Structure 1
Amino acid sequence: MTHIRRLTPGVCAALAVGILATWLGGFAPLIGGPIIALLIGMLLTSLRGTPAGERMQAGAGFTGKRVLQLAIVVLGGTMSLAGIAELGARTAPVLFGTLAIALTSGWLLAKLVRISRDESVLLTVGTSICGASAIAATAPILAAEASVIALAVTAIFTYNLVAVFVFPWLGHLLGMSQEAFGLFAGTAVNDTSSVVAAASIYGAEAAQIAVVVKLTRTLAIIPITIALSWWIARTNKTAATASGEVATKRKRPWQLVPWFLTGFLVAALAASLGVIPAAWSDGLHLIAKTLIAAALAGIGFTVDFAVIRRAGFKPLGFAGVLWVIITLSALGLMWATGWL
């Protein structure tokens, strides 16, 4: 009960903003409820001058992470596994081609820019795969310091915000279909919340497709972390074995699969088998959209502008160059494979 009471203020505030933003989004569909919720949250934070206070912080953080993940599970109830498999086959060249280019570019860029090994690795996997989730999975393997992790998350979050604002506009400028934009957002935006927000602004169909593409991309965490563990053990055996604490923090490969990916697939299976009626689809979409807006409001409540200012140019510059490379390679591969 104490934990629930601690979460209640932030959760209720984020849900209230999410409901309001979803309603307002109906009058401004090009902007959409999620981005309105994010803007309201950030506006309230900027007026306050600091992120949410202690009474709000826990609930806002919970909403920004867990409620967003719940929304992805709800979206799974509107899809079929057959459609997911078919979409995966069609998007694979763009998705995995972009991933390969991103990882290679990050490795080459790290040789040109004087930043630490941990910074370059965290920024590369975070930008290439799935933002903070990839950073959280790889940081224990590197035994990265908290300040390095914070810098990486902040740098990537900065470009997530840019993507949410710019990508829907770019999609309309290029005349992308709902399917094409879903692929673009799922491939070129690195954090789940920003992928869902950008795609939801573009349209419901785009959001469905973006979630599938993004979750497929998230699975790359498993081989990447295994390869990174092997690389660390081979090139720096002393660092890999000196700390028992580091070793105990490492996760098994199956533990790296996010719970909401499993939930999404279970919900999609239920929809495919008719356990979740097709008539519920519109209602589930509305629920998911409202939960997404609430999650973005929670993220807005916890934005620390001071940390962003202190991040410095190098991590931001590294992540920015890599983000541009990913965006351009995604567009190029989409054009080459007939999506544009």
Structure 2
Amino acid sequence: MWLPGVLVAAAAALLAATVHAFFPALPLLTLAVVFGIVAGNLPHTRRAVTGILAPGLKLAASRFMRIGIVLLGLKLSLVDILGLGWVTILTTVLIVLLTFVGTYWLGRAARLPGRQPILIATGFSICGASAIGAMSGVVKAKDADTATPIALVTLCGTLAIAVLPVLGHPLGLTDLQFGHWVGAGVHDVGQVVATAQVAGPAALAVAVVVKLTRVLLLAPLVAVVAVGERRRETRLASVTDAPAFRPPIVPLFVAAFLVAVLVRTFVPLPGAVLVGADTVQTSLLAIALFGLGAAVNLRSIRRTGGKALGVGLTSWTLIAGLAFLAVQLP
């Protein structure tokens, strides 16, 4: 029975929205993940999370996540992205690729278990926990493999909210440069908004467009990984004679996300439609991220997460450093 878990996740998302309304500096989606982590680790609530609530939370973390990502495409206009200029677009793409490859290599070098290296790489290079949720379905990651990357990207994204505004002026960044830095270097969209807004509306506008440019790269990245997964499964099947699991090259929700981007770019949608879609998208992602957070077992992470924490902090430093270098370009 999935209804109890979905209702609890929806209530947690509503609580996160309420807290965010009173304390705007706290990103709604980050709060949803944190509430999920708390619910999944308190002794009294963990029994319910792993029992009667489990089917609904799993449904929320997968199905609601995918619908939310599709609606996220309605925030992306190719016109806005092209308005950044080719230098900014190319450096943003390079930052994503270098962070993804570098973080994946670090995860493999640290011998992180299961699919953690590719999930951490996806979350840190693209858009935080949402990207992790999207990629986990393609690589068939276990809940245990997903939990650590979500905890790490939440921790580092929260650190960015506190650290980057303090560094902006000492590093000599203008408001627009600061917004560019935040958009290129912070993980989740909500964390970008919370970090960039301290420098004013111009910095926030640049940060959001740069960030959404990174989000757009989720589609080709997932497609490339899906091709690799198909080849790997085919090789395994040829050795074991077992049927191969072949994920679609472009998962349906990723294709729908791209369609939403094209609709946003070429179809003059009424403002009320965009506002409504944004509200639904944020609500669905908050519900989904509570479900993902509830799967995080801090006790097991404490036992095995030292290396993962090192990889996460190094990746966070890498993407912030690359983004800072990009800001210095004319």
Q: Does the 8 A contact of 1:72 with 1:211 survive in 2?
A: no
What SS class does the counterpart of residue 50 from structure 1 fall into?
A: helix
Name 1:257's counterpart in structure 2.
250
Partner of 2:35: 40
The answer for the alignment partner of 1:83 in structure 2 is 80
Q: Is the 8 A contact 1:11 1:59 kept in 2?
A: yes
Residue correspondences, number: 307
128 and 178 in structure 1: CA distance in 2 versus 1, 3 angstrom threshold: closer
Residues 23 and 214 (structure 1), Cα distance of their counterparts in 2 relative to 1, 3 Å cut:
same
d(CA) in 2 for partners of 1:116 and 1:289? Answer: 31
Match 1:62 to one of 40, 43, 59: 59
Which amino acid counterpart does residue 215 of structure 1 have in structure 2? L
Matched residue type, 1:63: A
Aligned residues of 1:81 and 1:268 also touching (Cα < 8 A): yes
What does 1:235-246 align with in structure 2 at a 5 Å threshold?
Answer: 241-245=238-242
In structure 2, distance between residues paired with 1:271 and 1:114: 41
Tell me which residue corresponds to 2:301.
308
Instruction: Give the Å deviation of 1:103.
Output: 5.5
Q: 1:165 aligned to 144, 158, 166, which one? A: 158
Q: Cα distance 1:159–1:181, how it changes in 2: closer, same or farther (>3 A)?
A: same
Q: 2:24 maps to which residue?
A: 29
Is 1:337 matched up with 2:319?
Answer: no
1:153 is the counterpart of 2:146: yes
**Which blocks of at least 5 consecutive residues in structure 1 are unaligned?**
1-5, 140-145, 190-194
Aligned to 1:3: none
Structure 1 residue 29, shift from structure 2 partner: 0.6
> Are the equivalent residues in 1 in contact too, given 2:115–2:139 (CA < 8 A)?
no
Please, what TM-score do these two structures have when normalized by structure 1? Answer: 0.71
Q: Does the 8 Å CA contact 1:34/1:201 hold for their aligned counterparts?
A: no
Compared CA separation, residues 297 and 150, structure 1 to 2 (3 A): closer
Q: Deviations over 1:173-198 (max 9, x none)?
A: 3256555533333xxx3xxxxx2342
Given the alignment, which residue of 274, 278, 281 partners 1:281? 274
Aligned-residue identity in percent: 21
Q: 1:89 Cα shift?
A: 4.2
Match of 1:50 among 27, 40, 46: 46
2:2 is the alignment partner of 1:7: yes
Q: 2:216, 2:155 → 1: CA distance? A: 21
Which ranges of structure 2 fall in alignment gaps of 5 or more residues? 169-174, 198-203
Deviates more, 1:116-125 or 1:316-325: 116-125
Q: CA deviation at 1:160?
A: 0.8
RMSD (Å) for aligned C-alpha atoms: 3.9
1:248 to 236, 244, 247: 244
Given that residues 168 and 201 in structure 1 are in contact (C-alpha distance below 8 angstroms), is that contact kept between their aligned partners in structure 2? yes
SS for the counterpart of 2:216 is helix
Counterpart CA distance in 2 for 1:327 and 1:30 is 20
Between the aligned partners of 1:28 and 1:60, the Cα distance in structure 2 is 26
Question: Which residue does 1:192 correspond to in 2?
Answer: none
CA contact (8 A) 1:98 1:330 kept: yes
Tell whether the 8 Å contact from 2:99 to 2:319 is kept in structure 1 after alignment.
yes
- Deviation per residue, 1:235-274 (Å, 9 max, x gap): xx986841333x72233xxx23343332233233333444
Contact 1:168 1:198 in 2 (8 A): yes
